[in-house]
């Protein structure tokens, strides 16, 4: 029963709960970034470069059965080995955008921390005993 108690204490600690919330928000944020990249940025890049669809960039590594369409999905369903580098480009762009966004967020947080310096805390007033001892010390010096 001791191990269950230890696990409960560990799981209820603030750091573990904060981490869980961060992972959940991160997963949702990753979906948003994936949509931004695949639905907004890559179509613009494709239009500039020549209407490329990065998800369908691949190199066929095996024999294609007769009657199989030359699309990535059809080749994968037919069991043909393909080197799908277009998907890697999409994931790399997703990572770069996510890293840029996180960098900008951290940079802004650091700026906000610098702009609001905390006022130094006033020293605590000495206790009555300390005040009395100081008075005794000062009177003895005279």
Distance CA 77, CA 81 (A): 10
Tell me the per-residue pLDDT of 54-84, one tens digit each, with 9 for 90 and over: 777 888 888 888 888 888 888 888 888 989 8
Distance CA 23, CA 20 (A): 5
Q: What's the domain range around 45?
A: 2-119
Residue 26, in any domain of the structure: yes
Distance CA 64, CA 77 (A): 11
Tokens of 30: 């990753």
pLDDT exceeds cutoff 70 at 128: yes
Judge whether 105 and 120 are in contact, CB under 8 Å: no
Tell me the per-residue pLDDT of 77-114, one tens digit each, with 9 for 90 and over: 888 898 988 888 877 877 887 788 778 888 888 888 88
- CATH code, 76: 1.10.1200.120
Distance CA 118, CA 109 (A): 15
- Compare 65 and 118 and report the one with higher pLDDT: 65
Task: Determine phi and psi for 46, rounding to 5 degrees.
Answer: -65, -35
Question: In 10 A of CB 95, how many CB atoms?
Answer: 13
User: SS3 of 125, please?
Assistant: coil
Residue 141, in any domain of the structure: no
Residue 134, in any domain of the structure: no
Residue 17, in any domain of the structure: yes
Number of domains in the chain: 1
Among residues 59, 91, 94, the alpha carbon closest in space to that of 75 is found at 59
């Amino acid at each position: 029963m001791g191990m269950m108690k230890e696990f409960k204490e560990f799981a209820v600690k603030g750091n573990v709960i904060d981490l869980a919330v961060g992972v959940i928000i991160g997963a949702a944020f990753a979906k948003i970034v994936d949509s931004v990249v695949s639905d907004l940025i890559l179509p613009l890049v494709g239009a500039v470069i020549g209407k490329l669809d990065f998800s369908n960039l691949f190199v066929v590594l095996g024999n294609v059965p007769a009657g199989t369409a030359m699309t990535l999905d059809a080749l994968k369903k037919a069991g043909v080995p393909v080197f799908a580098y277009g998907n890697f480009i999409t994931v790399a762009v997703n990572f770069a955008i996510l890293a840029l966004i996180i960098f900008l967020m951290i940079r802004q947080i650091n700026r906000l921390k610098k702009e609001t310096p905390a006022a130094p805390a006033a020293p605590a007033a000495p206790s009555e005993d300390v005040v009395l001892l100081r008075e005794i010390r000062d009177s003895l010096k005279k």
